[in-house]
Amino acid sequence: MKLLRVENLKKYFPVRQGFFVQKIVAYIKAVDDVSFEVERGKTFGLVGESGCGKTTVGKTIIRLFDPTSGKIVLEGKDIANLKPSELKPYRTKLQIVFQDPMSSLNPRMTVGQMLSEPLLFHGIVKTREEANKVIAELLKEVGLKPHHIDRYPHQFSGGQRQRLAIARAISVRPHLIVLDEPTSALDVSVQAQIINLLQRLQEELNAGYIFISHDLPLVRYMSDEVAVMYLGKIVEKAPRDELFDHPLHPYTKALLAAAPVPDPKKKRDRKNLIGGQVPSPINRPSGCFFHPRCKFRMPICEREYPPTFALDSSHEVACYLYR
Ligand SMILES: Nc1ncnc2c1ncn2[C@@H]1O[C@H](COP(=O)(O)OP(=O)(O)OP(=O)(O)O)[C@@H](O)[C@H]1O
Ligand SMILES: [Mg+2]
Q: Could you give the CA distance from residue 230 to residue 272 in angstroms, rounded to a whole number?
A: 16
Q: Which of 144, 155, 145 is nearest to 109 (CA)?
A: 155
pLDDT score at 240: 97
pLDDT score at 225: 98
- Residues in the chain where the model's pLDDT stays below 50: none
**Domain locations along the chain:** 4-93+174-322
The answer, yes or no, to whether any atom of ligand 1 lies below 6 A from the CB of 171, is no
Q: Could you give the CA distance from residue 88 to residue 204 in angstroms, rounded to a whole number?
A: 24
Beta bridge mates, 211: 45, 179
- For atom 4 of ligand 1, the residue with the nearest CA is 13
pLDDT score at 97: 95
Give pLDDT tens digits for 70-114. Answer: 999 999 999 999 999 999 999 999 999 998 877 788 999 999 999
pLDDT score at 43: 98
pLDDT score at 265: 75
Whole-number Cα distances in Å, 177 to 72, 212, 240, 271: 14, 11, 19, 37
pLDDT score at 78: 98
Beta bridge mates, 179: 97, 211
The answer, yes or no, to whether any atom of ligand 1 lies below 6 A from the CB of 56, is yes
Q: Could you give the CA distance from residue 252 to residue 272 in angstroms, rounded to a whole number?
A: 9
Going from the Cα of 50 to the center of ligand 2, the distance in angstroms, rounded, reads 7
pLDDT score at 270: 80
The answer, yes or no, to whether any atom of ligand 1 lies below 6 A from the CB of 13, is yes
Does residue 288 contact residue 301 with C-beta atoms inside 8 Å?
A: yes
Architecture of the structural domain at 4-93+174-322: 3-Layer(aba) Sandwich (3.40)
pLDDT score at 267: 73
Distance of CA 175 to the CA centre of its chain: 15
pLDDT score at 191: 92
Percent of the chain having pLDDT more than 90?
84
